[in-house]
Chains A and B, each alone.
Chain A
Amino acid sequence: MATPASDEELVQRAQQDDDRAFGNLVERYETKVYSLAMKMLRNPEDAEDVLQDTFLRAYRGIKSFQGNSTFSTWIYRITANSALMRLRKKQLPTVSIDDADERETPINIADWSPGPVEQLLTKETQKAMDEAIEALPPEFKQVFILRDVEELSNAEVAEILDLSVAAVKSRLHRARLKVRNRLALYFSDAKSSRAMGANQ
């Protein structure tokens, strides 16, 4: 069986008007692009818009793609920017990313961390996790999703978002605290509801 062509080979061929090569790149990355867009926008129609916008931009820009970064980083960058533009359009007035409310001590902070992840990860928890991400300012959301959901490195996230690694680390730390505080509230409320139910 032939070895699949590398991204670099496909990019080179796509730059020479080989539409099949570009199609191969689309097939290789479309689910990743869609998944990242869904995580950022939480709406299938918006995610599909980002998917189409990303590959249209990539198609139009493939000839000027210099290869200074990998194709994967480039396509993630286009996706993240396209999703960010949509987020900014939809964003309700929110706190500035400089507001340091993440320093507040969460309620009942120690009550929910013990135990296996699988036990905590119910549908309700998943909903609370989605809402915690939703509440983040867009610039924090990008960093948090790329780093802690997509599991990219700080350096990769910095390259995708055109930020310094120090800026990525700073935003990530604050995003994690904001998300954790929201989850702490959720687990605290869930615990109170269970206690009330047991007493009735």
Chain B
Amino acid sequence: MMTCKEVLESLSSYLDEDVKQEVAVEMHKHIGMCSDCRAEFDTLTMTIKLYRHTENHEMPAACHDRLVKVLELERFKTKRGPAKT
């Protein structure tokens, strides 16, 4: 039987389904019986779900225009070669 400490140490990998089958079975059993570890499991699961629900930040159109100008300037400098002094 796994201890709470062992369960907590592997919780993240368990959530990612990245533990061996026999460990997953043990953890599933432990979490079913231990309310503290179940609370750890539930809140960690919810934390990940919340972040995976966040929307991407829209890039303003002006950002694209400025990026294009910066790259054009770089092309111009590269093709012209180093400035003569």
Contacts and interface: CB of A to CB of B under 8 A. Distances in A.
Contacts of A114: 42
B74 interface: yes
A154 B52 contact: no
Interface residues of B, number: 37
| Residues of A in contact with B, size category | 35 or more
Contacts of A26: 67-68, 71
A126 B48 CA distance: 13
**B-side binding surface: helix, strand, loop or mixed?**
helix
Interface string A64-103: 0000000000000000000000000000000000000000
A112 B46 contact: yes
Interface in B33-85: 35, 38-40, 42-54, 56-60, 63-64, 66-68, 70-71, 74-75
Residue among B45, B51, B53 with the highest chain A CB neighbour number at 10 A: B51
Contacts of A110: 35, 38-39, 42-43
B18 interface: yes
A16 interface: no
B7 interface: no
A154 B13 CA distance: 10
A113 B13 contact: no
Contacts, number: 106
A193 interface: no
Contacts of B18: 154, 169
Contacts of B40: 109
Contact of A52 (B43, B53, B67): B67
Contacts of B35: 110
A35 B58 CA distance: 7
A5 B35 CA distance: 53
Contacts of B50: 117, 120-121, 125, 129, 183
Contacts of A30: 59, 63-64, 67
Contacts of B53: 117-118, 121
A172 interface: yes
A180 B71 contact: no
Nearest to B56: A35
B49 A117 contact: yes
10 contacts: A22-B71, A26-B67, A26-B68, A31-B59, A51-B59, A55-B71, A112-B43, A114-B42, A154-B18, A179-B47
